[in-house]
Amino acid sequence: MKKILSLILVIVMMCSLLVGCGEQSASEETTEKTNQTEKAENKSNNETKTEPTKLVVWGGVPAESGPQDLVDAWNNENPDIQVEYVRFVNDDTGNTKLDTAILSGEQIDLFFTYTVDLLKKRVDSGMVESLEDAKYQDFIKENIAGEGEGMVLIDDQLYSIPTVREPFGIMLNKNMLDEKGITIPDGWTVDDYADVAKQLTGEKDGHTVYGANIIQGGGYPLDIPVTINGGDSYYNEAGNASNFDTPEFDASASLKVLMDEGYAMPYEEIFSRKLQVYAHPAFLSEEVAMTSFSAWMLRYVKDLENYPHDFVTTFAPYPTTENGVENNYQASLNNYICMNSNSDEKDAAWEFMKYWLTDGSKYMYKAGKISVWKEADPEEATKVILGDNAEELFDVEAYKAVIFNPDLEYIVDTITAGYPQLKEIYKEESEMYFLGETTKEEYLKNSKERSDKAIQAEIK
C-alpha cells in the first residue's frame, strides 16, 4: 500500500512540474510577444515622427546685427520649421559666392539681393521664384507699405519683395563743421558741396583729412542723376538708349576735380583699402569729413569698440546740380528677399518670408533697417537705430530731417533692358576715369556708346 501511495505522490509531483514548465513557457511566450509588440509600436512611432523642416537663408547683414535674433525668435516659436542664417559679404566676391552656391545645388531656400542689376541677372539665370501668385500679391497689399507700388518688376513680373525702406544722404563730421564755422545751406548744390569739401580738408593728429569721399556703392561716383530723375535714370525716356550725355551725369563726373586737387580721397586709396562699398572706416577714423550714407551704416557709428571716435555725426541731403533743381529721389525700397526657384521647401520658405517682413522685422532695426511693414513704428526704429547714447553720437534732429523728409520720393526702376551690362560698363569706365586713364569727355562718351549697344542688343 505504501508503494502505491509513493507512486501516486511521485506522479502528482511530476504533473506539477510539467504544469509549472508549461506556465513558464506560456509566460515567456507572452513576454516575447509583448516585447515584439512594443518594438513594433516604437518602430511605427519612429517612422511616423517627422523631422523639423530645415530652411537655409543667405543674407548680407552680419548675423549679430539682427538676423540671428530674428532667426532665434522664429525657431523658438516654430519647432517644426528650423532656420539657419548664413552671412555673405555684399560685395562682388560675396555675391559671386552666393550665385555659385545656388547654381551648384547647395540648399539655399531664401536669399537677399541688394541691387537691381544683380536681381535681373539672377532672374535671367532662373535662380528666383516668381511671386505673381495671388497669395503673394494679397499679402503685399495687406501688409506692405505702398501695397506693391515702387517694387521692381523684371519682365513685368514680381520676383522679390523689398524688406526695408532706405533713405540715403550725406553724413558729416559735425565737430569739424563747427570748428570751421561751416553751415550746410538748404538746397545745396554740387558747387556748395565742393566748397565745403575744400574747407574741411586739412590735417588732424598728423594725418590728412580729406573733405569728401565722392565714391559710393561699389565704385560709382555720387549718384546725382538718380536723386533728380528717380528710377530709370540710366535710360532715356523711350528706354532705348542710355542717359550718360545728360547734365546730371556731367555734374557727378565733375566732382573728380576734388580728387585731382587733393580735397577728396584718391580713388587708388579707396580701391586698395576696399572702401568703395564700405566707406565707414575712413569716415570714423576722421580721414574723410563727409561721405554718402544710408541708415544701415549707422550701426558702425554706434560700434565704438571697433570704431572708437569722439565726434558727432550729422546729416544732409544729397546736393543738387543747380539752385531750384529738385532732387527728392533720395530713398529706395531695398534688401530684396528672394525665394530660390529650386527650393524643396517653398511653402515653409514663404511662411518665414512673411515673418521676416512683419513681426520679425523689428529685430533688424539695430542693423539700421527700416521696415516696409505697414504696422512698423518709425519712432521705435529710430530709437534702436541710433542707440541708447544717440545724443552723444548723432545730430538726431538732422537725422530725422533727412530720413523723414516729407518730400522724399522713392526710386523705382521699371526699365531693365541690358541693366547688368550697363552697370558693369559704367563701373569699368568710372574706374578708368577716376584712375586718370580717360578724360571726362571720353568717360561719358564711352559709357554712353557702350551702354547704348548693350541696350539695343537686348531689345532687338
Compute the distance between CA of residue 381 and CA of residue 402 in angstroms, rounded to an integer. Answer: 15
Work out whether the CA dihedral 383, 89, 96, 171 comes out positive or negative: positive
Q: Partners of 189 in the beta sheet? A: 320
Non-local (6+) Cβ contacts of 211 within 8 A are 196, 197, 198, 199, 200, 201, 258, 263, 264, 288, 289, 290
Compute the distance between CA of residue 294 and CA of residue 131 in angstroms, rounded to an integer. Answer: 28
> pLDDT below 70 — which residues of the chain?
1-49
**Residue 133 vs residues 40, 47, 159: alpha-carbon distances, Å:** 44, 35, 11
Q: Partners of 170 in the beta sheet? A: 292, 316
> For residue 145, what pLDDT is reported?
87
Compute the distance between CA of residue 142 and CA of residue 131 in angstroms, rounded to an integer. Answer: 15
Compute the distance between CA of residue 339 and CA of residue 108 in angstroms, rounded to an integer. Answer: 9
Q: Are 83 and 352 in contact (CB under 8 A)?
A: yes
The cell for 10 is: 511521485
- Please report the DSSP string for 298-362 in residue order: HHHHH-TTTS-----EEEEPPPBSSTT------EEEEEEEEEBTT-S-HHHHHHHHHHHHTGGGG
> For residue 18, what pLDDT is reported?
41
Which residue shows C-alpha cell 577716376?
A: 434
> For residue 305, what pLDDT is reported?
95
- Please report the DSSP string for 57-110 in residue order: EEESS-GGGTHHHHHHHHHHH-TTEEEEEEE--SSHHHHHHHHHHHHTT----E
Compute the distance between CA of residue 108 and CA of residue 55 in angstroms, rounded to an integer. Answer: 7
DSSP classification of residue 363: G
Work out whether the CA dihedral 442, 444, 447, 448 comes out positive or negative: negative
Q: Are 328 and 407 in contact (CB under 8 A)?
A: yes
Taking alpha carbons only, the member of 292, 334, 356, 304 closest to residue 85 is: 356
Taking only the tens place, the pLDDT of each residue in 215-272 is 988 889 999 999 999 999 999 999 999 999 999 999 999 999 999 999 999 999 998 9
Q: Are 424 and 95 in contact (CB under 8 A)?
A: no
Global pTM?
0.79
> For residue 23, what pLDDT is reported?
45
Which amino acid, 79? P
Compute the distance between CA of residue 338 and CA of residue 343 in angstroms, rounded to an integer. Answer: 11
Number of H helices, E strands in the chain: 19, 15
Residue 290 has phi, psi (to 5 degrees) of -150, 145
Q: Are 118 and 95 in contact (CB under 8 A)?
A: yes
Work out whether the CA dihedral 62, 96, 239, 433 comes out positive or negative: positive
Residue 152 has phi, psi (to 5 degrees) of -80, 130
Q: Are 145 and 372 in contact (CB under 8 A)?
A: yes
Query: How many residues would you count in the chain?
Result: 460
**Residue 179 vs residues 72, 183, 200, 248, 265: alpha-carbon distances, Å:** 46, 11, 10, 32, 21
Q: Partners of 208 in the beta sheet? A: 203
